Every structure is written in C-alpha cells, then in structure tokens.
Amino acid sequence: MSGWWNSKRQQSVSLVCGGVLVGLLSLSAQGDEAALRQKLQQKLPKLAPHVVQIHPAHALGLYELYTDDRQIIYVDEGVTTLVAGDLIEAQSLHNLTEERLKVLGAVKPSELPLNLAMKRVKGNGKRVVAVFSDPDCPFCRKLEKELTGITDVTVYTFLYPIGSLHPDAPERAHWIACAHDPEKAWEDYQLKNVEPVHHQCKDKLESVQALGEKYGINGTPTLVFADGSVIPGALPRAELERALGPD
C-alpha cells in the first residue's frame, strides 16, 4: 500500500502541505462510514483494502483514514480529494494528526508475541519495553549502551534486520538467534563487537519480519512501551527512564 500511496502522494496537491496551519472547525464530518467505504472501493480500489479504520476528523468536514501501514490520510465525504499532511489547531499549534496516530497506533508489549523475542531481565524487571532492533544498526548499538545504565526493566528484543540498509544483518541476526545463549550473543556483538558464532538452526526471523510489517515498523530501533506508545530512535537514558516510568 505504501508504495502506491507514496507515488500518488508525489503527484497530488495537499491541502496542508508545507506545514500550513489548519484551523480546527466546530463542524463534525457527517455521513455513514459504510457509504464512505463503498465510495473508497469505487473510486480508490487500490487504497480501500488498506484502510483499517474510518473516523470523522472533526475538521474541515474531513474523515481520517487509518491505514494498515500506520498512516492517516484525510478525505472528504465525496472522496474527491485526498489530503496528505498534519492537521494543526491554529490557536495552540497542537498537532492533531500526531495525537491521533499515538492513539490509533498504540501497541502494548503484552499484545505482542513475546515468544519471538529475546528476553533480558534487569533488577526486579517490573518495567517493560519491547525493541525491534537490527544487529548492524548503529543507532541500535547506541540504544544498547544507554540500556546498560538502566535497571529494574525487562527488555524484549525482536531481531529485525533491514537488509536493504545493512546487507549482512539478516545472516548475522540468524547466527544470534541460533546461538546457545542468544541474549549474550546479542549483547556481546552490540557492546563488545564480538562476532556471533556461525550456528545454524530454524529461527523465527520470518515471523518477526511479518510482525514488524504488520505494525508498520520501518526503522530501527523502534521501542514499544507499556503505555502503548511506539517511539522510533535511540532515546538517551533520561528519556528512556521517563518513558519506562517509575520502577
């Protein structure tokens, strides 16, 4: 879906491109969701199957379309215009789209198939975070260094190599997954640059890849916190502590 949408996006004129501020109107978008979905199927048959949820945007008479790759696209009731970009409340400069994405895209670690992840318990392990990580991603390595200073946390690491960026990462992830002690092999490689032993086994990397694609994970590291927030990037220790909450 994303490839189709991105190509169309380049050709379209967005009503909110360039960060133009959009005033929040009091009018609520009216209409029947089923009727709107039918119009989508008629006018945009390639997009329609990827629309997971439809909600009134409560601005400009638009509807928000939440897609299976975790984007929000706006559309009018007649499906004559697609709007690509953020809706921003003019007076407060509050980003309405960003707020909605946090709500719609929330994923709690407990909802993930944690049996696919490596598990490391530090201290009492009460706080929980899941991380999608590529063994050859420099930002993932930076995150691991930050995690060394944090205790009372359980870290679930999903091996999520992105071969288009790091050609050797899929094979290296396989070796780590097949190690006698995958958690140690992971930490040794990330923190000490110790190459994993070339073990062979039937790993779970394809299932992890499918999981990441399901949730629209397109960069590493991506962190999933207990409150459902999904945050990409290597957060510094202070931000990690705040996101994890009290121990």
29, 127: one domain? no
Over 50: is that where the pLDDT of 25 sits? no
Residue 89 β-bridge partners: 94
Q: At what angle do helices 138-147 and 237-244 cross, to 10 degrees?
A: 70
- Our CA dihedral for 231, 129, 145, 182, rounded to 10 degrees, sits at -120
CATH number, residue 220: 3.40.30.10
**Whether residue 103 has pLDDT greater than 90:** no
Boundary (domain end) residue, out of 104, 120, 150:
104
Q: What is the CATH number of the domain that holds 96?
A: 3.10.450.70
pTM of the model: 0.69
- Each residue's pLDDT tens digit, 50-70: 898 898 988 888 999 988 877
C-alpha span between 224 and 70 (Å, rounded): 14
Instruction: Provide mean pLDDT across the span 192-204.
Output: 94
Are 178 and 171 a contacting pair, CB within 8 Å? Answer: no
Residue 70 sits in the same domain as residue 116: no
Mean pLDDT to the nearest integer, 66-92 = 89
Under the banding of pLDDT at 50, 70 and 90, the label for residue 30 is very low
**Distances, alpha carbon 191 to alpha carbons 143, 144, 148, 186, 194, in Å:** 10, 7, 9, 8, 8
d(CA 85, CA 78): 19
Are 82 and 142 found together in one domain?
Answer: no
70, 103, 228 from 216: Cα distances, Å: 6, 15, 15
C-alpha to C-alpha distance for 156 and 187, rounded to whole angstroms: 13
In terms of residue numbers, what domain contains 199?
109-244
Nearest to 220 by CA among 130, 106, 128: 130
Same domain, 124 and 225: yes
Q: Are residues 163 and 209 in the same domain?
A: yes
Q: Please state the domain count of the chain.
A: 2
pLDDT digits over 133-169, tens only?
999 999 999 999 999 999 999 999 999 999 999 999 9
